Amino acid sequence: MLKKILIANRGEIAVRVIRAAREMGISTVAVYSELDRDALHVRLADEAFALGGQTAAESYIDSDKLLDAIRTSGADGVHPGYGFFSENADFARAVAEMGVEFIGPPPEAMDEMSDKVSSRQAAIRGGAPIVPGTTEFAQGPDEIRAFGNEHGWPAVIKAAFGGGGRGMKVVHGPDEVDDAWASAQREAKSFFGRDEVYVERYLTWPRHVEIQLVGDKQGNCVWISSRDCSAQRRHQKLIEEAPAPMLPEGVEAAMGEAAVKAAKAVGYYGAGTVEFIYQDGEFFFLEMNTRLQVEHPVSEMITDIDLVEWQIRVAAGEELPMTQAEVDACRRGHSIEVRINAEDPTDGKFLPAPGPISKVVPPDGFGVRWDTGYLSGDEISQFYDNLVGKLVVWGRTREVAIARTIRALEELVVEGVATTIPADLEILKHPDFAAMTFSTKWVEEKLDLSGISVGPPPAPSSDDDDAPELVRRNTTVEVNGKRFDVSMWVPDQPVVAAGAAPAKKREKRAASGGGGSAGSGKIEAPMQGTIVKLLVEEGATVEAGAGLVVLEAMKMENQINADIAGTVKEIKVAAGDTVGGGDILAVIEPA
């Protein structure tokens, strides 16, 4: 058995792995960026190593820094979590070359299955039907246009090495291709470190159904459960449930068998998920995620199987603890997971809402589980995923699970940032959800969220505005006669020369919000983020609704549009600038 595991991740999933390892008597090592130095996963781990930097590129996906932390810590296992390096075969190989166990599938299987293009080829070999699309990386926008013209619009451009809706852009016609291509590549590069994309047909009203499986190094493989993940916005999941309800007789078992065959075809071991699109009685292979999924707890809740424990045991060379028949026999009841994201769902826009969490009070009661990486006082950064936590509920039937989830959601308290909770409640209470007559398009195309309004978090007090930021200071200390070079985070109190002017701040709206009201021509940033691209120049004439800038927040690109027609009088930002919510980005002079 492994003795010490380094978790090459952050947030909720790092906490999840630390807890499982602790129950198994395994010590844990956390890594952290500058922004995460006081994060929950850092506090829970037995050891923690600083990676430096703020963005993921500067920390969690800097392979040299991670490999150095593995080497320094003496860990004999590495758990990648999900996202970041979890599906990066080169990182897995580098870990193995150090004599350290990568808690995941073999790199060869990752090469084939983590790349969405080659995984489609593997599915074809295994006899699974696939959604019509390319089986090679797309070479440019012209290839996308040719595919759409041949197979029909809409089409979807997808990151070949990604998942979770990142780097995924739906195009409804040839005129949209160039911008969608560039945006998909930027998002893919930012979140996964690679920008290859491919294209496939976009189904009009599908359900998203997936199969959780686990294999071992002896060649055994079982599927644990099905999951329905159709309640989505921007191709990212909001609510998941297990098992996938109301499938025709035999479909779930057929999906499970197809998933196991696909995994065995590439010599897969460890936990993985095969995703399918289901529509009109047919299912199509979509992709395989060669890692643990965010929604894995719903499979755990209906089987009493700890998937992280199984991952660790498989990595250590143990056989699976159960046969397929034993897994089949242990499924019971129904489970629902609700992802609580720091997003403002007002009018169904789901705008990222990073910032400090002033208060978190999780719900409790029979069949209720709360997985999180944040406590009261922690902050959701614009540089990372906006998942606050996952509410996971079990019930003896789907009806009981829905009612219990609604009760628990109404008890859950998250203050300081806007969250998706109001939208989650609308979904769970809707008759279409109860009747299972929705699809992956339902939230954005059918669900009426016009009545939802989430007010902004309280404005910081003047004391907060004037509070000095913390800066890093290096010094040398002695403990029991032994010297240590240490870093401390202390208030920044620079000496200001007499007569020096204070630093100029970017213009912000008035506290009342009047400066950025609808139709004012003062275009505000709706959230904290980074300017990726300017779409217009000063002096340009624009119509209301025309794109002005592209703002990236929490790895998602958002186009900020003009609120009135007129002339762009001033652009106050440049590509690469970091802005806060309410900052004025541009000023338009009315026509």
Residue range 168-219, pLDDT digits in tens? 899 999 999 999 999 999 988 887 788 899 898 888 789 999 999 999 999 9
- 8 Å CB contact between 19 and 5: no
**Phi, psi of 580, rounded to the nearest 5 degrees:** -105, 160
Of residues 45 and 583, the one with the higher pLDDT is 45
Indicate the pairing of strand 207-215 with strand 270-279.
antiparallel
For residue 157, report the phi and psi dihedrals to the nearest 5 degrees. Answer: -90, 130
Sign of the alpha-carbon dihedral angle for 75, 78, 79, 85: positive
Distance separating alpha carbons of residues 131 and 283, to the nearest angstrom: 9
CA 60 to chain centre: 14
pLDDT at 518: 56
Q: Is the pLDDT of residue 115 over 80?
A: no
Class of domain 333-456: alpha beta
Q: Which of 206, 180, 211 is nearest to 278 (CA)?
A: 206
What one-character DSSP code corresponds to residue 362? -
Angle at which helices 107-114 and 116-125 pack, to 10 degrees? 100
Mean pLDDT score across all residues of the chain? 88
61: nearest Cα among 104, 98, 94, 17: 94
Q: Is the pLDDT of residue 441 over 50?
A: yes
Label residue 481 exposed, middle or buried (CB < 10 Å: 0-12, 13-18, 19+).
exposed
The reported pLDDT for the residue numbered 555 is: 59
Euclidean distance between CA atoms 259 and 179, whole angstroms: 35
- Label residue 134 by pLDDT band (50, 70, 90): confident
Residue extent(s) of CATH 2.40.50.100 domains in the chain:
514-590
Does residue 415 register a pLDDT over 90? yes
Cβ atoms of residues 568 and 525 within 8 Å: no
Architecture of domain 132-201: 2-Layer Sandwich (3.30)
Question: Is 50 exceeded by the pLDDT of residue 69?
Answer: yes
Of 164 and 590, the structure prediction assigns the larger pLDDT to 590
For helices 296-303 and 307-315, angle between their N-to-C axes, nearest 10 degrees: 100
Residue 100 has a pLDDT of: 98
Q: Give the pLDDT of residue 163.
A: 67
Q: What is the CATH number of domain 206-331?
A: 3.30.470.20
Give the per-residue pLDDT at 156: 93
- Return the higher-pLDDT residue of 322 and 162: 322
How confident is the model at residue 80, as a pLDDT?
Answer: 98
Domain 4-103 has CATH 3.40.50.20: yes
CATH architecture assignment, domain 514-590: Beta Barrel (2.40)
Whole-number pLDDT of residue 496: 41
Instruction: Give the single-character DSSP code of 382.
Output: T
pLDDT above 60 (res 505): no
Q: Which residues contact 555 (CB under 8 A, 6 or more apart)?
A: 56, 166, 187, 190, 191, 384, 385
Nearest to 417 by CA among 364, 362, 376: 376
For 72-85, how does the pLDDT look when each residue is reduced to its tens digit (9 = 90+)? 999 999 999 999 99
pLDDT digits (tens, 9 = 90+) for 307-361: 999 999 999 999 999 999 999 999 999 999 999 999 999 988 898 899 999 999 9
Nearby residues of 396 by Cβ (< 8 Å), 6 or more positions away: 332, 333, 334
Residue 550 main-chain phi, psi, to 5 deg: -110, 125
Position 142 scores a pLDDT of 96
Between these two residues, 136 and 20, which has the higher pLDDT value?
20
DSSP 136: S
Domain with CATH 3.30.470.20 in the chain: 206-331, 333-456
**What integer pLDDT is reported at residue 484 of this predicted model?**
58
Please list, in sequence order, all residues whose beta carbon lies within 8 angstroms of the beta carbon of residue 423, skipping any fewer than 6 positions away: 233, 238, 345, 348, 350, 443, 449, 452
Residue 70's pLDDT band (cuts 50, 70, 90): very high
Q: CB within 8 A of 342, min separation 6: which ones? A: 352, 353, 354, 355, 380, 386, 387, 388, 417, 418, 419, 554
- Is the predicted pLDDT of residue 507 greater than 60, yes or no? no
Amino acid identity, residue 146?
A
Average pLDDT in the 506-522 region?
53
**In this model, does residue 454 exceed pLDDT 90?**
no
Average pLDDT over residues 25-42: 96
pLDDT over 60 (residue 494): no
Residues composing the chain: 591
How high is the pLDDT of residue 461? 46
Task: Please report which confidence band the pLDDT of residue 265 belongs to, taking 50, 70 and 90 as the band edges.
Answer: confident
pLDDT at position 465? 53
Could you tell me the two tokens for 67? 């490999």
474-499 average pLDDT score: 57
Contact 392, 337 (CB under 8 A): yes
Predicted local confidence at residue 308, as pLDDT? 98
In this prediction, residue 499 has a pLDDT band, given cuts at 50, 70 and 90, of very low
Residue 518 burial (CB count, 10 A):
6
For the sheet containing 522-524, what is the strand order? Answer: 522-524, 584-590, 566-571, 541-542
DSSP H helical segments within 105-250, as ranges?
Answer: 107-114, 116-125, 141-151, 177-192
Of 318, 97, 282, the residue nearest 205 (C-alpha):
282
Q: Which residues of the chain does CATH 3.40.50.20 include?
A: 4-103
